[in-house]
Structure 1
Amino acid sequence: MKTPLRLLSILGLSAVLVACSSSPSNSLGQLPPTKYEDLDKLLLQASKKSDSQAVGLYLAAADLAWQQKQALRAREILEGIDLSQATPAQQIFAKTLEAELALGRKQPKSALQALADPSFTHLSELPISQQARTQLARAQALQDTGKPLAAARERIFIAPLLDGQQAFDNHQSIWALLSSLPRTQLKSSGQADLDGWMELVRLTKASDSLEQQQASIKQWMAKNPQHPAAQQLPETLKKLQQIQAKNIQTLALLLPSQDPNQNVVNALRNGFFAAHYLAQANGQATPTVLVYDSSDIASMDAFYKQAAADGIELVVGPWEKPLVRQLASRSTLPITTLALNYADSHQSGSKLLFQYGLAAEDEARLAADRAWADGMRRAAALVPQNAWGDRVLAAFSSHWQSLGGELVVTKHIDRPVELAGQIADMFQLRASEQRSKQLENTLGTKVAAQPARRQDIDFIFLAATPQQARQIKPTLAFQYAGDVPIYATSAVNPGPGEIYPELEGIQFSEMPWFIESNDATRQHITYHWPQALGSMGRFYAMGADAYQLASQLQQLQVLPNSSASGLTGILQLSPDQRIERTLYWTQFANGAIEQIHEAQID
C-alpha cells in the first residue's frame, strides 16, 4: 500500500496538518459518527436508513462493538455491510476497522491486505485522527508480520500526527522496534529522523562499558538536539542514564584444565581473553582477570573463600554442568557468578547466579516466532530421538502453542533406514495409497493416481545434524512434500565451506559470528586462531560474549527489557536470570549462507 502520506516531506507537514484538521471534501463523504454508546439503539437506527447513511451508522455500530471489546459482533456487523454503497471516507474507515479486527485475531497479513485497498489513496485528505488510526494499524501489522524496520519507519513518519499517551507509546515503540534489529540492519537510510534513531541504537549495542555508553548517549543528544529522541529520551535510555555504574576491578575466570571437551574449554578461554585484550588495546578500563582451575575444585565453598580472599568481585564460570547444578541448588552465593552453562531445571536460586550458554531452546523459540510471523499456523516437527531432541521439541512446542499455533504431528529421527517411512506416516501418504488400492479393487481396474499428502501442515520444524538434514530434504521431495517450508535450528549448519546442495532452501537461525565477518573481535580471534572459522567458532564467540556480559550484567539486571549485542546473538536476561539469545534468520541459498533481511516496504 502506497499512500500520498509517504510522498510528503516532514518540512511540508505543518501545511498538511492544517489541511487535514478540517472536514473531508464533499467528494469523499463523511466519516461514520462516533457519538453513540448504545449499540442496539444504533443498529435499530441504521436499519431505518438507506444508502450511505445506513452504511455510516452500521460502520459506527461495528466500531462501537469493537471499542466495547465485542470483537465477534463487530466482525459480524462489518461483514454484513454492503460497501458498494459506501463513500471513500467510509471505505477507508471500514478497511481500517477490518485491519484492526484482523490484528485482534492475530492475522496481520489479512490486516495488511485490508490496508492495501485503493481507497487509501485519499487517506491524507481525511482528519488527522483517522490518518493516525489507519497508520498505527499498519505499523502494528508490519510489526506482527516480522518487519520491525518497516514498522518503525511507519511510526516515525506518523509521530507528528500524535499527541498525549498515543504519542508517548508510539515513541517507546519506535525505540523497541529498532533495538530489536540485528546490527547488520542498522545502516544509514538517507532519512534524517530514522538515521538519528539508528545511530542511537548502534551506540547502545556497542560492547562498551556502562559508563562509556552513558557518555556516548550524552554526546549524541548534544549533537542532535532537535531529534525527537533527544527531546524525549526513550524510557529505557532514561533509566540507563540514571544507573550508577559499578566497575569491576578483579574478576575470576573459572574453567577446567582437564576435561573430555577440552577443545571447547580452550575456545571459551581464548575468546574471553581475546575480548579482554582488545578492550585494553582500545583504551577501555578493564578488570584484572585471575584464572582458576575448576578441575582441582573439591568444594565450591573452598573456592569462593579463596576468591573472596583474592578480592574477586565477579566469577565467570564454571562450565561443567554438575558444578552449575550445585550452584543453582543454593539459595545464596557469596560472589556474583556468571555460569557458562545452564542447570537442568529453572528453579529459583540465588539472586547472584546468572546462567549463560548456547541453548538450542532459544533457537526453537525463535523458529516458532519466525514461522508465526510468516503466517504459519500448523506445524510438524522432526527431532532426534535423544535428550537434546526432547529439550528442543519441548521448547518449540510450548512456545508455538503459546502463540496460538497447532503442533499437528511429531516424528523422532533415529535410524536413517526408517526415515522414508516416518515422513510417509507424517504426511499420511500410506493412507492415500491405501485409498487408491481400495478404489482399484472397487472398480476392478488400474487407477492412475498419484499419492496425495495431507494438507494441514504449513511447515516443518527441524532439529537435526547436517547429515540428517541431507537425507530429510530429498526424502520430503520423494514423498510429495518437497514444497513444505522447513524452519530449523543452527544444528543444521555444517559450517563455512561445507554447504551441501541438498540443504538448499532450508531456513535456520544462526549467531552473528557466522554473519558479521567484519566484526573487530571476530577478526582478531580468527587471525590468532584460524580454527575459529569452523564450527568451533561458536565457543570462541561465547567466550568473547562472556567477557562482554561481565561488564553489562548490571545493565541487563536493572533494565529488564534491555539487551546486549554479542557475537552469539542479541542477549537478554530472563526473569529466572538466564541469558537468552535472539539470533539472525538465515537460509541456504546458492551454495552459501544468506541472511534473510526484512522485505523492503514502500
Structure 2
Amino acid sequence: MLQFRRVIMQTVVPAFIPRLAILILAVAAAACAPGPTAPDTTAYQARAESLEAAGDHLAAAEEWQSVAEMSAGSARDRAYLRAARNLIAAGRPAEARRTLDGIAAAPAGPDAIEFALLYASSAVATGDPVAALEKLDRLPPDLEGRALAHALRLRGEALFDLGRGAPAVETLVRRELILTSSADIADNRRFIWNRLQEAATAGADLSTPPGAGPDVAGWLELGRILQVAGGNPFRMRGSLEGWRETHPEHPASLTVLDAVLANFQALTAYPSKVALILPLEGPLASSARAVRDGFVAAHFEESGDRRPEILILDTARLGATAAWERAAEQGADFIVGPLSKDEVGQLAGVSGGIPTLALNEPAGDIPLPGFIFQFPLAPEDEAAQAARRILADGLYRGVAMVPANDWGMRIAESFGDALQSGGGRLLEVRTYVSGLPDYSDEITALLHVDDSRSRHQRLESALGVNLAFEPRRRQDTEFIFLAALPRDGKQIAPQFRFHYAFDLPVYATSSIYLPGERPGTDLDGVQFDDMPWILLEDDTRIAALRERIGSVWPAATGRRARLYALGFDAYTLVPLLRGSSSGAMSELQALSGTLYLTGSGRVARRLEWARVVNGEVRSGTSGNR
C-alpha cells in the first residue's frame, strides 16, 4: 500500500507544479497590465458639433449628454455645459437647469463663468429670478466683454421680473456702455422698452431714484407714461409725442420711438368719413342727444388734421335700415349706431360690408352680419360682473331681490347663471313692485324672518307660556343681491338692515346710483359696479377731461353721463375696430370701462367698484367687510 502511494505522488506532483506556476504568472501579469481604456467620444463630439452648427440644438444636446455620460472630471462637466447651452437654445430651460444641477460641484476657471451664466439664464426662463441673481452675484468682478454684456442682460431681466424697475433700467443702461455694435445697442433699447411695457402693465414701481442719470430718468418717465395711458393708444400716442419733444437726444427718441409712434399712428388713424345714426326725435331723443354729444366731444378732442368728416342721420325719421343705407350711399367708411334694440335688429338684413358699431344688441337671438360690432350698456353684463365680484370676495350662497318686470327677470337670470358657473348658489329670488313705500313683506319672506316668528308662536302654544323672543333671519345666506333704481334702492336697503340683515353685504348694479347726485345714507354699505367716468372723479385724466368739457356738454356729468361716455367711447373705438373682425383689439381703458372685443364681435366692459359710505360714493372700497 505504501509503495502504491509513492507511485501516485511521484506521478501527480510533477504534473501539478507547472500548472500552478502558470496560474501565478498569469495573475502577476494581470496585475501589471494597464486598466480598461476610456470610451472614445470623438465621434459623439463630432456629431454634436455638427448638429449644433446646423441649428438642431435639441439633438445636439442629446449627443453632448452622451459625451458627458462617457466622460469624467472636467471633460464630463464641459460636456454637460454644452448640453445645457443647447437645451436653452432649443427652448428647454427647465431641462437645461436639471442638466446643470447634475454637475456635482461648480466648475472652476473659465467653465465657472459659463456655468453661472447658463444657470442664471435657465433660472430666469423658468421664473426663478432670485436664483438667477444668486448665481450672477458670484461672478468675478473683473468680468468683461461679451460675458459681462450677457450677465448684465440677465441681471436686468431678473430685476424686471422682481418688479424692481429702476435698478433694472440702470443695469441695462450700464450694459449699453460696453456694447460696440449698433445692432446690439438698438436691441438693448428695444429690450428696455418691451420690459417697461410689461412692468407698466404689472403695476411695478417705476419711480426715479435720487441721483439717477438722465438716460435712466428718461426711460423711467416713459414707463410711467405707459402706466398712466393704461393701454389707450390715443393717450399713449399723444404722451409719447410730447415726451419726445422734451427728450430729443434720449436713446429712446433716437432708436425706439419712431417705430412705436408709427404703429400707434396707424392704429389710431380714422377713416375719411364716419356716420352716426341715432333716433334724435321721439321717446329716445334725449338719450340719443347725450350719445351724440359724447361722440362729438371725442371728435374735438382729436387733433384737427386727424379728424374724420362726421355725418349724422336721424333714425327716427328715416328708420334704422334706411339711415344705414343712406350713410353707405354718402360714402361713410364706418357707421356708428343705431341705439335701441329694435333698431339694431333691423340691421340684420343690410349688406355691403361697411364696418358698423351698433350701440346696443338686438332683442332675442337675431343674427347680425359679421361686419356689425355690438357695444351695449347691458344690465345683464353688470349683474354677471356682480356675481363674479361676490365670488372673488369669498361668498358663495346668497339671495336676490329684483323688480317684477322683464328687466328684473333678465338681471336675475344673468346673475344666477354667473354665480352658479363660478361655484356659487342663488338660494332664492324675490320680486317686488317698483314704487311702493314699504317692502317689509317681500324682505321678511326673502330672509325667512316670518319663519322664526311662526316657530316662536308654535313653541309658546305648545308650552302654554309667553317666551322672550327676538326674530331671526335665515342663517344660510352670505350676501344679498339687489337690482333696483335709486328710488327703490333707498327704500329697500335700510329695510334689509331693519329686518336683521345688517351684517349681510349688499351688492347691486349701477342702476342703483344716479350720477351727479348724492346717494344718501339710506344706501350706506351698498356696493355697486359702474363706469370709471362715474366713479373715478379723482383720477387725474378723468378730472381734467370733466373740467375741459363739462361746461360745454351738460350731459357729460349729469344723469345721462353714462350715455355720454358711451358716445365718447364709440368714437374712440372707430379706428381700433377697423379690420378687427377677428377680435384682435387690445384692451382699452376707456370712460365706460376697460373695453375688450369678444370673439363674437361684441365690445364687453369691465367696470369699477364702489361702496356708499356715510352717504357718499367711495370708489375702490368694495369687499365683503
TM-score band, normalised by the shorter chain?
0.5 to 0.7
CA displacement 1:284-339 (0-9 Å, x = unmatched)? 61111112222232572x54553333221001111233220121x33844311111
Counterpart residue number, 1:404: 423
CA 1:437/1:560 → structure 2, altered by over 3 Å: closer, same or farther?
A: farther
CA 1:173/1:409 → structure 2, altered by over 3 Å: closer, same or farther?
A: farther
Counterpart residue number, 2:600: 576
> Superposed, which structure 2 residues align to 1:224-373 within 5 Å?
247-280=270-303, 283=304, 285-297=306-318, 300=321, 302-327=322-347, 329-330=348-349, 332-373=351-392
Counterpart residue number, 2:551: 527
Separation in 2, partners of 1:187, 1:592: 31
Separation in 2, partners of 1:598, 1:473: 16
Deviation for aligned residue 1:481: 0.9
Deviation for aligned residue 1:519: 3.8
Q: Which amino acid aligns with 1:469?
A: G
Q: Aligned with 1:354: secondary structure?
A: strand
> Superposed, which structure 2 residues align to 1:170-249 within 5 Å?
179=201, 199-203=225-229, 205-206=231-232, 208=234, 247-249=270-272
Q: Among residues 447, 466, 485, which one is paired with 1:427 in the alignment?
A: 447
Q: Which moved more, 1:562-571 or 1:531-540?
A: 531-540
Q: Aligned with 1:479: secondary structure?
A: helix
Q: Is the 8 A contact 1:545 1:567 kept in 2?
A: yes
Separation in 2, partners of 1:368, 1:479: 24
Q: Is the 8 A contact 1:315 1:335 kept in 2?
A: yes
Q: Which moved more, 1:252-261 or 1:187-196?
A: 187-196
Q: Among residues 541, 546, 564, which one is paired with 1:540 in the alignment?
A: 564
The alignment's C-alpha RMSD in Å is: 4.4
> Superposed, which structure 2 residues align to 1:80-91 within 5 Å?
none
CA 1:573/1:307 → structure 2, altered by over 3 Å: closer, same or farther?
A: same
Separation in 1, partners of 2:457, 2:199: 55
Q: Is the 8 A contact 1:339 1:354 kept in 2?
A: yes
Mapped pair 1:156 → 2:177: no
Counterpart residue number, 1:376: 395
> Superposed, which structure 2 residues align to 1:20-31 within 5 Å?
none
Q: Is the 8 A contact 2:225 2:240 kept in 1?
A: no
Deviation for aligned residue 1:556: 6.1
Separation in 2, partners of 1:198, 1:598: 27
Separation in 1, partners of 2:532, 2:268: 28
Relative contact order (alpha carbons < 8 A, sep ≥ 6): 1 or 2 greater? Answer: 1
Mapped pair 1:391 → 2:410: yes
> Superposed, which structure 2 residues align to 1:60-139 within 5 Å?
none
Deviation for aligned residue 1:564: 1.6
Q: Aligned with 1:208: secondary structure?
A: helix
Separation in 1, partners of 2:476, 2:242: 52
Q: Among residues 525, 528, 534, which one is paired with 1:508 in the alignment?
A: 528
Mapped pair 1:593 → 2:617: yes
Deviation for aligned residue 1:562: 2.0
TM-score, normalising length: structure 1: 0.62
Q: Is the 8 A contact 1:210 1:552 kept in 2?
A: no
Q: Which amino acid aligns with 1:538?
A: R
Q: Aligned with 2:439: secondary structure?
A: helix
CA displacement 1:210-237 (0-9 Å, x = unmatched)? 97799899999999989xxx9xx9xxx9
Counterpart residue number, 2:508: 488
Q: Is the 8 A contact 2:237 2:265 kept in 1?
A: no
Q: Which moved more, 1:578-587 or 1:553-562?
A: 553-562
Separation in 2, partners of 1:472, 1:548: 38
Separation in 2, partners of 1:207, 1:239: 12
Separation in 2, partners of 1:574, 1:367: 19
CA displacement 1:39-79 (0-9 Å, x = unmatched)? xxxxxxxxxxxxxxxxxxxxxxxxxxxxxxxxxxxxxxxxx
Separation in 2, partners of 1:318, 1:207: 26
Deviation for aligned residue 1:178: 6.6
Counterpart residue number, 1:49: none
Q: Which moved more, 1:458-467 or 1:348-357?
A: 348-357
Counterpart residue number, 1:439: 459
CA displacement 1:181-221 (0-9 Å, x = unmatched)? 9xxxx997668999865532433533618977998999999
Separation in 2, partners of 1:239, 1:369: 39
CA displacement 1:432-487 (0-9 Å, x = unmatched)? 11222222223221111212221211111111011111121221122111111011
Q: Aligned with 2:301: secondary structure?
A: helix
TM-score, normalising length: structure 2: 0.60
Q: Aligned with 2:400: secondary structure?
A: strand
Separation in 2, partners of 1:307, 1:529: 26
Separation in 1, partners of 2:533, 2:591: 5
Deviation for aligned residue 1:509: 1.0
CA 1:309/1:494 → structure 2, altered by over 3 Å: closer, same or farther?
A: closer
Separation in 2, partners of 1:298, 1:215: 43
Separation in 2, partners of 1:391, 1:218: 50
Deviation for aligned residue 1:585: 0.4
Counterpart residue number, 1:474: 494
CA 1:289/1:412 → structure 2, altered by over 3 Å: closer, same or farther?
A: same
CA 1:209/1:323 → structure 2, altered by over 3 Å: closer, same or farther?
A: farther
Q: Which amino acid aligns with 2:503?
A: D
Separation in 1, partners of 2:269, 2:205: 32
Q: Which amino acid aligns with 1:439?
A: L
Q: Aligned with 2:427: secondary structure?
A: strand
Deviation for aligned residue 1:498: 3.0
Q: Which moved more, 1:248-257 or 1:529-538?
A: 529-538
Separation in 2, partners of 1:557, 1:409: 40
Unaligned stretches of 5+ residues in structure 2:
1-122, 132-159, 169-192, 210-216
Counterpart residue number, 2:575: 551
Unaligned stretches of 5+ residues in structure 1:
1-126, 136-152, 162-170
> Superposed, which structure 2 residues align to 1:447-466 within 5 Å?
447-466=467-486
Q: Aligned with 1:551: secondary structure?
A: helix
Q: Which amino acid aligns with 1:367?
A: A
Separation in 2, partners of 1:202, 1:506: 29
Separation in 2, partners of 1:325, 1:177: 43
Deviation for aligned residue 1:535: 0.9
Separation in 1, partners of 2:325, 2:290: 28
CA 1:197/1:389 → structure 2, altered by over 3 Å: closer, same or farther?
A: farther
Q: Which moved more, 1:521-530 or 1:371-380?
A: 521-530
Deviation for aligned residue 1:489: 0.6
CA displacement 1:388-419 (0-9 Å, x = unmatched)? 11121222111111111111111112153672
Q: Is the 8 A contact 1:210 1:551 kept in 2?
A: no
- Identity percentage over the alignment? 31
Q: Aligned with 2:280: secondary structure?
A: coil
Q: Which amino acid aligns with 1:429?
A: V
Larger-Rg structure: 2
Counterpart residue number, 2:113: none
Q: Which moved more, 1:552-561 or 1:260-269?
A: 552-561
